[in-house]
Amino acid sequence: TEGSPIPVLTVPTAPYEDQRPAGGGGLRRPTGLFEGQRNYLPNFIQSVLSSIDLRDRQGCTMVVGSDGRCFSRTAIEIVVQMAAANGIGRLIIVQNGILSTPAVSCIIRKIKAAGGIILTASHCPGGPGGEFGVKFKVANGGPAPDVVSDKIYQISKTIEEYAICPDLRIDLSRLGRQEFDLENKFKPFRVAKSMKVPVYETPAGWRFFSNLMDSGRCNLCGEESFGTGSDHLREKDGLWAVLVWLSIIAARKQSVEEIVRDHWAKFGRHYYCRFDYEGLDPKTTYYIMRDLEALVTDKSFIGQQFAVGSHVYSVAKTDSFEYVDPVDGTVTKKQGLRIIFSDASRLIFRLSSSSGVRATLRLYAESYERDPSGHDQEPQAVLSPLIAIALKISQIHERTGRRGPTVIT
């Protein structure tokens, strides 16, 4: 690719009430509806992409195919433009975009893709007066389970905008790799992308790792509290972690500091800290989280800028994190409020019940630094502007009477 990065646009839209997927995550309607109704296809594609958690979506691989019926080429172009704008790192598309449903399923499983989109109305006749459809395949290559279809439908009923790269053009007739440089808001997971392995972001708790390990999707897992383990058991294992580090040191013939600095030089450094406010009144923490959710999930919060000293942070995305288990489709909701800024920095607020009568409110701050000259800073100095923003919008100190956190990690 040459020249400036392709811009990512956010296009306002309005929901349609008739986009409930049929069994298996598919939407089948008259071709004229997809062609003639404004944003009808983009709305559904955005709902499908938004049903995949942000962390699973960024930098992942998906498969796209069609049965070649009327409107397929135009639809494939829209899917590609929207997938790129939503952070999908790689799309597998065969020449001319024609790929059967079983073939899509086979490729998803063979390359361990995050899923696939098939443009087909199955046995229904195509053509301008016929039918057109969109099917969503999940990571196991099968149809979307009901919980995923329900999530797609709920998103489609409240959608207000979609992301697209209208200037991105692919040549479906040409074999080979086609690469594009995008002005994407979110960065792929700078390490996983290099090693070509998937990343799964789960809620807190090792019970969420178990399904992934039992299904063969991962064999290394870790918590933000630094507990790590592998698939030889279903808990953190400190002795295993020590042995892994000793093995790495022996193989690399470097000190821990040298290994870490080499890692930073190649992938950049993530600065991170966590503030724990322990022993709080549960009623107070409930209202803090309720008011925060109302604030950060309001559409007007997107694009807001916060200036702290010489730093200016612009809000790119917010959500109340929910996890859809890729193995059994179980949905776990309200796992933290996330604010993601345009430079990939982020804040997270999460409520944790520490006992039957008291509660713990956790505040997380994370910032990415690619420039090696910025790799030797103190984490709290780097993150202090983000912490200031978090305290300002949450009013934690004012509403709890605390002067600071109980624990800082």
Q: Whole-angstrom Cα distance, residue 208 to residue 216?
A: 14
Identify whether the C-beta of residue 284 lies closer than 8 Å to the C-beta of residue 399: yes
Residue in 50, 51, 72, 122 annotated catalytic: 122
Active site residue 345: no
Integer-rounded Cα Rg, in Å, for the chain is 23
Q: Whole-angstrom Cα distance, residue 185 to residue 344?
A: 7
Q: 178: closest CA among 188, 192, 168?
A: 168
Q: 182: closest CA among 196, 162, 161, 165?
A: 165
Angle between helix 379-394 and helix 282-296 axes, rounded to 10 deg: 90
Identify whether the C-beta of residue 25 lies closer than 8 Å to the C-beta of residue 149: yes
Q: 374: closest CA among 407, 349, 343, 409?
A: 343
Q: Whole-angstrom Cα distance, residue 67 to residue 132?
A: 10
Residues classed as catalytic:
122
